[in-house]
A and B are shown apart, each in its own frame.
Chain A
Amino acid sequence: AQSVTQLGSHVSVSEGALVLLRCNYSSSVPPYLFWYVQYPNQGLQLLLKYTSAATLVKGINGFEAEFKKSETSFHLTKPSAHMSDAAEYFCAVSRGGATNKLIFGTGTLLAVQP
């Protein structure tokens, strides 16, 4: 079975500081991994996805993530946090098959302090 674990339900950084949100996956086959962001009272927006084409994936809003098979990790980073980055971030892994079920992690709430 596939699953993802997000370490840290709450992360707080200062504006301009590095953002690091952790995600580890478990999968018996090469996974497809995603990061979604959810701003308050909104739906989910795709930040980036890993589909085995490249281990370093660049997404929207300056975010990127690196797939590390040896560490079974897909951590999300951004060099410099903005106030507008405050949101809930979900890591997700996709199962195989036509139905393409997304399995979500428990989420990390990012707070950005001025």
Chain B
Amino acid sequence: DTEVTQTPKHLVMGMTNKKSLKCEQHMGHRAMYWYKQKAKKPPELMFVYSYEKLSINESVPSRFSPECPNSSLLNLHLHALQPEDSALYLCASRSGATGSGNTIYFGEGSWLTVV
């Protein structure tokens, strides 16, 4: 079963709100990712966690704060976002610790609208 579960599916938040996106996988994967996808564009990598430690931050603004509480969970905390941050946020996970051949599996995404 290759399933990555994301909640909520839809989120509307004001620019002063604090909210979180959640991601869960029970495949035993040790690498987890956050991607951002704008309409009609490919996904763009935001963060990579490997063995619950942040290994890549693609120069993402600090109003996005990732957290990996354990090997199955990945959160993205949102605060003081801008309307241009409205997008589809995709969580993904990968089996194995090393090697380029391991497949990255994506969740269904969380649609975020900032008003």
Contacts and interface: CB of A to CB of B under 8 A. Distances in A.
B53 to A, nearest CB: 11
Interface in B79-115: 90, 92, 94, 97-109, 111
A36 B106 contact: yes
A94 B31 CA distance: 14
A99 B103 contact: no
A95 B100 contact: yes
Interface of B: 2, 4, 6, 31, 40-43, 45, 48, 50, 55-56, 90, 92, 94, 97-109, 111
Given A98-B50, A99-B56, A34 B98 contact: no
Contact of A43 (B41, B99, B100, B106): B106
A49 B101 contact: yes
A36 to B, nearest CB: 7
- List the 7 closest A-B pairs by CB distance, nearest first: A104-B42, A51-B101, A44-B106, A43-B108, A94-B100, A32-B100, A43-B106
Contact of A32 (B40, B98, B101): B101
A90 B100 contact: no
Interface string A40-60: 011111100101100000000
Interface residues of A, number: 27
A21 to B, nearest CB: 14
B105 A99 contact: no
Nearest to B94: A100
Contacts of B98: 97-98
B55 A100 contact: no
Contact of B101 (A42, A94, A102): A94
A114 to B, nearest CB: 24
